[in-house]
Amino acid sequence: MKMKTVFLNSAKVDFDQKLDYSKFEEATEFTKYDDTVTDEQILERVQGQEVVITKEMSIGRDLILKFPASVKLICEAGTGFNNIDLDAAKQKNIAVCNVPSYSTESVGHLAITFVLMLSASLHLQQKMLDKGNYDNFSKYLQVPHYEVLGKNLGVIGGGAIGRQTIKAGLALGMNVLICDPFPQPWGDAAVQYVQLEELLKNSDFISLHCPLMPSTKHIINKETLNLVKPSAYLVNTSRGPLVNEADLVEALKTGKLAGAALDVQEVEPATPDNPLFHLDNVIMTPHIGWRRFESRQRLFNLVADNITAFSQGKPVNIVN
């Protein structure tokens, strides 16, 4: 028997209305809403449902404790699940699952795209053109321009996306320093596991790929930024609060850090008054790493697969 399933904010993923819902419709008794804003709406729409699908919605303790007994599974349509109160879900005997692998390639590729853009100062060149400055075409090159071959790529977090980023870095001839509590063999002399301090001191590019938890919040801060080389660049395609943005702005303004590329921000969506928007040595994108069409369709399909597996008592990526 198909499980009754509600997707509370499908437009967060299907924002262009191009995705195929057939797997949901085959696997479940399916209802979707483009968006669900208030707690009252959530409670109304989960009534009688067995599976609740959300994408980066805040589902707190008080709300979960009011969920009807019919709810057996909350599916986070994404990797991070810090927005769901796992203790409350466990108390209500509601399983929580996520989809950690749907955007591995696309996010890893974005991180390396940022590395290449920063090394070639493409963002600075484009900003010059936007201001009508064509000096790069008529004079000697006015911006820094470096090879990544032989440079040190520091990866904080050696999970699936971190590993994808490492593979791309190795293909470009980079040396890799990894900080992760669970070292895995690479069989490549260009890869070394090191402590955080050593990584920060020796990396030319620092790429963040760790989950957001109390121990990693603001892992990039004034103290850790003081360890990096002034010529180094920071890349964050993971979670915005891994970085203390006020400390980052100061480092970027004072030359303690050469530049940064940020697909995530400490507060999302970032508002126009965020000072990072107004720094020439910063690339900002609106959390696009997971938003490629193929990644989003894969996400839908994997969520549907999770629900089918759960209904059949088969293994699912349960996080609580």
CA dihedral over 33, 39, 44, 46, signed as positive or negative: positive
Question: Is 296 annotated in the active site?
Answer: no
Which residues are CB-neighbours of 22 under 8 A, at least 6 positions away? none
Catalytic residue among 26, 147, 268, 294: 268
Contact 299, 102 (CB under 8 A): yes
Contact 30, 312 (CB under 8 A): no
Per the listing, tokens 């990693």 go with 216
User: How crowded is residue 270: how many other Cβ atoms within 10 Å of its Cβ?
Assistant: 19
Per the listing, tokens 């603001």 go with 218
CA dihedral over 271, 275, 276, 278, signed as positive or negative: positive
Contact 53, 5 (CB under 8 A): yes
Catalytic residue among 123, 163, 209, 239: 239
Question: Is 239 annotated in the active site?
Answer: yes
Residue 136, CB-side half-sphere exposure with 13 Å CA sphere:
19
DSSP string, 60-82: -HHHHHTS-TT--EEEESSS--T
Strands 95-97 and 152-156: unpaired
The amino acid occupying position 142 is Q
Contact 247, 221 (CB under 8 A): yes
Question: Is 25 annotated in the active site?
Answer: no
Catalytically active residues, by annotation: 239, 268, 287
